[in-house]
């Protein structure tokens, strides 16, 4: 089996480095590339502004329960999802706001979900950790660490079963690779050659536990060797590098039904969830500050500046635009009603006595 | 007596038992460096070191098995599940190994282990994080199941659980950790398998356990304002269950309501009602009613979650119904 070049875009260990190999690579530039950079920038800014307001809404008690922010990791979701076709599938963990937005779930319906309102993408029943959207093939935010990795394998199985050429992109944290579900899922995907891209967001911590304190292997991509699966490591603060790595993996999945494990090295700028201090217990303020120098938005900005694509005015206009979108989402969510009490007992079973047998229809259609 | 939180009461029990017996160790996610996801193990790493206070990867099945293996050959593990929702991943080790090792080995290998952590819903944690597993666990011969609802009971029962030579499932509650109550300074234990009459009354018996005992007490307060004297029984241990205390009370009051946090079908309450109908058939003046979570996965929206959970109002309504007041 063809192995991906493991030394491909290796991120510098130094969080300070702003140069990456993919950037240095000389290849002809087209206007498409600059449009792409601009749209990725806008995507990341939308995620950032959206979650800044999410944190405020949480403090105001408009959002409850567990809420995990993606701030610092935006390049991963934005870059990876930008590669997909609309009919591909995305599945992820509870840290799902950024990926949901990147996949095109409207900011309105994501915010309404966080507010627990009827217009939310899961009708207010799922909340922050359980964003779902059938229209965009967004198969969920899942709350049990590693629990959704075998589900991704199952989606890959269904794609192959139906003879389709879609792929399933599965996001999870680096702490999930220590769970048996990860290993079982990757083994089956490699054994049966399923079109799945397993993307580990290595943000260095699983809650308060540093990677080295939980894993006997520190290079997570190496875990793929146990399953003879192509793998690569990529700098997760560089959205273009993420995009390129995922492009290679998606091509392998679509063309050859070959799964890939991509380790994306990133960092979370906020606490694990809203109750966790940003730094102090398990990571130092200094470490955080170092990593924050490589804000994914700033990294892309530097790339754009280098190419003369950056103008403060243009950027201010984009920022205003995304802030307005987020403001609109907030107002929409705030005005959306709570679910009616009758909704409590709905959606526990589908009504198989009616004509709309969703299970069968879905298998044919999708 | 000192007034301390449920969390601190558990912490004292862990500390005292680790001081008393060096075979006792604690293992789980975030128990050491982070001082516990809910700070129950706070300070233990500093006092006992990393061989006895062990952070694990997120690998519930794995470390539950590590606990069983260590117990099989003479240690006395305390395995913390960050919550019992995640213990589902470990149930094979709990049910297929810990619970039946003694029986399978013809009495040669007992498993002195405690599996503990918060059980049941907190606030707006949605479907995967808001579940009560006591009836699943209590179903299994070979396991003991304990569910304290106050700081005093939490400490005394945890000490007994750690000293017990069998696998004990210890069910705490995220919403209980901050509850305060009186806890004596000195050493004490509370025996497993004994219920307590938390409040005496002669009109109706309210039977509950764990977090719901506080709901039962609230309901009894509300009922008292209308002159209704409810007797409140706290089961404390769900397996082995103390049927004597239940039956003696129902024979006195002739009416009963069971309050539990989990779902109705095959819930703990169904078992309790069975004991009552068997032994108090002629004493009952009304069908025994149950208060429980609505039969749906827990929704996130605040209003739906509130509607789904058992509470004091629903308990009062059930009591009034068995008294034929409404
Ligand atoms: C099976 C299971 N065990 C424990 C938890 C509690 N928990 C939630 S997130 C988390 C850390 C996960 O870290 P990682 O996989 O690296 O993802 P990150 O949060 O860093 O995105 C833990 C322990 C859980 N949700 N599921
Ligand atoms: Mg992580």
Q: List every span in chain B annotated with CATH 3.40.50.920.
A: 196-322
Mutate to test the pocket of ligand 1, among A207, A268, A274, A283 (most ligand atoms within 8 A of CB): A207
With beta carbons less than 8 A apart as the criterion, state whether A46 and A325 touch.
yes
Q: What is the mean pLDDT of residues A261-289?
A: 96
- What is the CATH topology of the domain spanning B196-322? Rossmann fold (3.40.50)
Pocket test for ligand 1, best of A68, A206, A268 (most atoms within 8 A of CB): A206
Residue A260 is part of a domain; what is its CATH number? 3.40.50.970
Label residue A237 exposed, middle or buried (CB < 10 Å: 0-12, 13-18, 19+). Answer: buried
With an 8 Å Cβ cutoff, are B297 and A345 in contact?
no
Q: Which pTM was predicted?
A: 0.93
Which of A63, A94, A208, A271 is best to mutate for the B interface (most B CBs within 10 A)?
A208
For every residue of chain A, which 3-state class applies, written as one string? CCCCCCCCCCCCCCCCCCCCHHHHCCCCCCHHHHHHHHHHHHHHHHHHHHHHHHHHHHHCCCCCCCCCCCCCCHHHHHHHHCCCCCCCEEEEECCCHHHHHHCCCCHHHHHHHHCCCCCCCCCCCCCCCCCCEHHHCEEEEECCCCCCHHHHHHHHHHHHHCCCCCCEEEEEEHHHHHCHHHHHHHHHHHHHCCCEEEEEEECCEECCEEHHHHCCCCCHHHHHHHHCCCEEEEECCCHHHHHHHHHHHHHHHHHHCCCEEEEEECCCCCCCCCCCCCCCCCCCHHHHHHHHCCCHHHHHHHHHHHCCCCCHHHHHHHHHHHHHHHHHHHHHHHHCCCCCHHHHHCCCCCCCCCCCCHHHHHHHHC
Q: In chain A, what residues touch B294 (CB-CB under 8 Å)?
A: 344-345
With cut-offs at 50, 70 and 90, classify the pLDDT of residue B92.
Answer: very high
Q: Is residue B77's pLDDT more than 70?
A: yes
Distance A93 CA to ligand 1 centre (A): 9
pLDDT tens figures, B173-222: 999 999 999 999 899 999 999 999 999 999 999 999 999 999 999 999 99
Query: Which of A143, A213, A339 is the closest to B304 by Cβ?
Result: A339
Range of the domain at A255: 63-337
Query: How near does any CA of chain B get to the CA of A341, in Å?
Result: 6
The C-alpha of A160 sits at a distance from chain B's nearest C-alpha, in angstroms, of 28
Q: Is residue A258 part of a domain?
A: yes
Query: How much of chain A exceeds pLDDT 70, in percent?
Result: 89
| The total number of structural domains that make up chain A | 1
Residue in A175, A179, A268 to alter for ligand 1 test, most ligand atoms within 8 A of Cβ: A175
Residues forming beta bridges with residue B216, ordered by sequence position? none
* Residues 6 or more apart in contact with residue A324 via CB below 8 angstroms: none
- Please tell me the distance between residue A175's alpha carbon and the centre of ligand 1 in angstroms: 7
Tens of pLDDT, residue by residue over B110-141, are 999 999 999 999 999 999 999 999 999 999 99
A222 lies in some domain: yes
Task: Work out the mean pLDDT of chain A and round it to a whole number.
Answer: 91
**pLDDT of res. A361:** 45
Give the C-alpha separation, A223 to A177, whole Å. Answer: 8
For an interface test with A, the pick among B38, B57, B81 (most A C-beta atoms closer than 10 Å) comes out as B57
B305 noted as active-site residue? no
pLDDT digits (tens, 9 = 90+) for A251-264: 999 989 999 999 99
Q: Is the dihedral of CA B272, B275, B279, B284 positive or negative?
A: positive
Catalytic residue among B16, B30, B129, B305: B129
Distance from the CA of B39 to the center of ligand 1, in angstroms?
A: 17
A293 within some domain: yes
Q: How far is the CA of A145 from the centre of ligand 1 (A)?
A: 5
For residue A5, tell me if it sits in a domain.
no
Tens digit of each residue's pLDDT (9 = 90 or more) over A125-154? 999 999 999 999 999 999 999 999 999 999
Fold that domain B2-183 belongs to in CATH: Rossmann fold (3.40.50)
What's the pLDDT score for residue A14? 41
Which residues of chain A neighbour B59 with C-beta distances below 8 Å? 178-180
Q: What does the pLDDT read at residue A15? A: 40
Name the residue of chain A whose CA is nearest to B87's CA: A144
Residues with CB under 6 A from ligand 1: A 95, 143-145, 173-176, 201, 203, 205-207, 272; B 29, 58, 60, 82, 86, 89
From-to residues of CATH 3.40.50.970 in chain B: 2-183
Nearest to B301 among A116, A129, A145 (CB): A116
With 70 as the cut, is the pLDDT of residue A180 above it?
Answer: yes
- What pLDDT does residue A172 have? 98
């Amino acid at each position: 089996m063809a192995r991906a070049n493991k030394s491909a875009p290796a991120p510098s260990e130094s969080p300070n480095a702003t140069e990456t190999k993919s950037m240095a690579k000389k290849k002809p530039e087209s206007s498409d590339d600059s449009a792409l950079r601009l749209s990725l920038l806008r995507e990341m800014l939308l995620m950032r502004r959206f979650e800044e307001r999410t944190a405020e809404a949480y403090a105001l008690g408009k959002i409850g329960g567990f809420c995990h922010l993606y701030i610092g990791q935006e390049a991963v979701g934005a870059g990876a999802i930008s590669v997909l076709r609309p009919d591909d599938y995305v599945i992820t963990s509870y840290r799902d706001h950024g990926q949901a937005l990147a996949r095109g779930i409207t900011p309105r319906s994501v915010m309404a979900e966080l507010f627990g309102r009827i217009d939310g993408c899961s009708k207010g029943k799922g909340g922050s950790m359980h964003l779902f959207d059938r229209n965009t093939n967004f198969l969920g935010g899942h709350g049990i660490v590693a629990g959704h990795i075998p589900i991704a394998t199952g989606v890959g199985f269904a794609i192959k079963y139906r003879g389709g050429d879609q792929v399933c992109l599965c996001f999870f944290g680096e702490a999930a690779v220590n769970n048996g579900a990860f290993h079982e899922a990757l083994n089956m995907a490699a054994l049966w050659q399923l079109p799945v891209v397993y993307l580990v967001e290595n943000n260095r911590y699983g809650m308060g536990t540093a990677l080295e304190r939980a894993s006997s292997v520190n290079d997570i991509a190496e875990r793929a060797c146990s399953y003879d699966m192509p793998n690569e490591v990529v700098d997760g603060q560089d959205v273009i590098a993420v995009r390129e790595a995922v492009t290679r993996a998606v091509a392998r999945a679509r063309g050859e039904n070959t799964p890939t494990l991509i380790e994306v090295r990133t960092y979370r700028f906020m606490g694990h969830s809203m109750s966790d201090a940003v730094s102090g217990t398990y990571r130092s303020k200094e470490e955080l500050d170092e990593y924050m120098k490589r804000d994914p938005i700033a990294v892309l900005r530097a790339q754009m500046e280098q190419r003369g694509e950056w103008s403060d005015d243009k950027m201010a206009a984009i920022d205003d635009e995304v802030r307005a979108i987020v403001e609109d989402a907030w107002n929409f969510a705030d005005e959306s009603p709570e679910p009616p009490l009758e909704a409590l007992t709905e959606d526990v079973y589908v009504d198989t006595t009616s004509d709309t047998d969703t299970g069968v229809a879905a298998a044919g259609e999708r | 007596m000192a007034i301390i939180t449920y969390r601190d009461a558990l912490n004292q029990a862990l500390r005292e038992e680790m001081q008393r017996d060096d075979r006792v160790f604690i293992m789980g996610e975030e128990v050491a460096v982070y001082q516990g996801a809910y700070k129950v193990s706070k300070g233990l790493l500093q006092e006992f070191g990393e061989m006895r206070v062990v952070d694990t990867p997120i690998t519930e099945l794995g470390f539950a098995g590590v606990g069983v293996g260590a117990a099989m050959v003479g240690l006395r593990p305390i395995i913390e599940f960050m919550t019992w929702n995640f213990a589902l991943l470990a149930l094979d080790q709990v049910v297929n190994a810990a619970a039946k090792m003694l029986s399978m080995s013809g009495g040669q290998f007992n498993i002195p282990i405690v599996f503990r952590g918060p059980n049941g819903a907190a606030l707006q944690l949605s479907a995967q994080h808001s579940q009560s597993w006591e009836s699943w666990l209590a179903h299994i011969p070979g396991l003991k199941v304990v569910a304290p609802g106050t700081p005093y009971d939490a400490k005394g029962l945890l000490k007994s659980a750690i000293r017990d030579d069998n696998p004990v499932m210890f069910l705490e509650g995220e919403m209980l950790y901050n509850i305060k109550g009186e806890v004596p300074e000195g050493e004490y234990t509370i025996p497993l398998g004994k219920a307590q009459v938390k409040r005496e009354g002669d009109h109706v018996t309210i039977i509950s356990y764990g977090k719901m005992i506080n709901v039962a007490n609230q309901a009894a307060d509300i009922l008292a304002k209308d002159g209704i004297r409810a007797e409140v029984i706290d089961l404390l241990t769900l397996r082995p269950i103390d049927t004597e205390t239940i039956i003696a009370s129902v024979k006195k009051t002739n009416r009963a309501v069971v309050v539990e946090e989990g779902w109705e079908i095959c819930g703990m309450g169904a078992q309790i009602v069975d004991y009552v109908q068997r032994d108090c058939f002629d004493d009952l003046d009304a069908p025994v009613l149950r208060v429980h979570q609505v039969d749906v996965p827990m929704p996130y929206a605040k209003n739906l979650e509130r509607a789904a959970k058992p509470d004091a109002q629903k308990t009062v309504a059930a009591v009034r119904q068995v008294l034929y007041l409404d």
